[in-house]
Structure 1
Amino acid sequence: MAKKLFKRLMPDPYKIRNHKSLQFLGTLLHDPNLFHLNRSSVSRAFFVGIFVCFLPLPGQMAIAAFGALWLRANLPISAALVWVSNPVTMPPMFYACYQLGLWVLGAPSRPFEFELSLDWIIAELGALVPPLLVGSLMSAAFFGCLSFLVVNQLWRWHVARSWQRRIALRLEKLKQLK
């Protein structure tokens, strides 16, 4: 099961709580849900991680970590999931978000001509940022909620299937005893 794999890969909570650079958080890291692998903390971690990976901001891991603290989600999973948006996947993700933002705002698509200069960046930033932010926030909300629901339902399905297997094994043992 994936739970055993996650447990093996997750860092030691004691080391994280006592890390020198995280001492400013005080007792926030002592919440047990931040490191437990249960349905609610993992599904919230997927929401946080996937939501943050769609935001075109630097420091996504830190943002996801604070989101996990705020929502009491699994901290390592939240921080790791932001790597869905990595240097390979970022261009297509953010281009799709930009196109979604253009469609939602009803703005016309503009031809893209790149020039490496500060004047070009300042001139184009005003036209690029609003559609990108709108599309990114909509995608973040949609895919974050979708991942929350999918993980939640998969977890329930797996638990129900495990219980059915246990019952079937017990019935089989009872039949063998008779």
Structure 2
Amino acid sequence: MPKKIIQRFLPDHQTIKQQKFLSLFGSVLHDPNLWHLNRRSASGAFGIGLFFAFWPVPFQMWLSAASAIPLRVNLPLSVATVWLTNPFTMPPMFYGAYLVGTAILGAPATEFQFELSWQWVVMSMETIGPAFLLGCAVCSVFFGLVGYFGLNYLWRYSVKKAWKLRQQKRRESAIN
């Protein structure tokens, strides 16, 4: 069941191979393991995507793709999972990461107002930066592992459920 759900949302691999931002990987993209969807490749890709979703850097998709290729996990899923970080979800995700960082450091959460300027970014890295970056690192590892093991469990559960359903149907057809 997870395979059918995931395949419904993933774009065609030929379309992805033609993307300009992936051209720097060259012929490596022709490895069929990067496009195959099974439990191992899906859970690994989901974990990688969630791991990089909490990195406060541009080009998260490139980082996710660069990690998916040597680990030979599903490339489209790893890149698509990073899209959980978008302009609507970024503020609550990164504020939550900041709160995690302050809790770990034992520092009080300070009030701040966002400004769209380089000076504000530099000043913020001196004040809230350590707690924010630590929180991002912890959330990145935590959610990456939860995503990996969660999807792995969900995949196994759905396969077991489908297997039991097939066995039950066989028994019913043998009785009739």
TM-score range for the pair, normalised by the shorter chain length: 0.7 to 0.9
The root-mean-square deviation of aligned C-alpha atoms, in Å, is 2.2
Q: Which residue of 1 aligns with 2:157?
A: 157
Q: Which runs of 5+ in 2 are unaligned?
A: none
The residue aligned with 1:123 is 123
5 Å matches for 1:1-178?
Answer: 1-17=1-17, 22-114=22-114, 118-176=118-176
Which structure 1 residue ranges, 5 or more long, are not aligned?
A: none
Of structures 1 and 2, the larger Rg is shown by: 1
Q: Distance in 2 between matches of 1:112 and 1:19?
A: 39
For the Cα contact (< 8 Å) 2:16–2:76, is it kept in 1?
no
The Cα of 1:20 is off from its aligned counterpart by 6.3
Deviations 1:55-98 (A, max 9, x none): 11111111111121132111111111111111111111111111
Whether the 8 Å contact between 2:13 and 2:76 is mirrored in structure 1 is no
Alpha carbons of structure 1 residues 101 and 162: separation in structure 2 relative to 1, 3 Å: same
Contact 2:49 2:64 in 1 (8 A): yes
Query: Structure with the greater relative contact order (CA < 8 A, sep ≥ 6): 1 or 2?
Result: 2
2: CA distance, partners of 1:68 / 1:101: 27
SS in 1 for 2:83: helix
Relative to 1, partners in 2 of residues 1:157 and 1:41: Cα closer, same or farther, differing over 3 Å? Answer: same
Shift of 1:149: 0.8
Distance 1:39 1:66 in 2: 20
Code of the aligned partner of 2:158: H
The change in CA–CA distance for 1:14 and 1:102 in structure 2 (over 3 A counts) is: same
TM-superposed CA distance for 1:122, in Å, is 2.7
**Count of aligned pairs:** 176
Percent sequence identity over aligned pairs: 44
Q: CA deviation at 1:13?
A: 2.8
Provide closer, same or farther for how the CA distance between residues 117 and 31 of structure 1 changes in structure 2, counting only shifts above 3 A. Answer: closer
Tell me the amino acid that sits aligned with residue 63 of structure 1: L
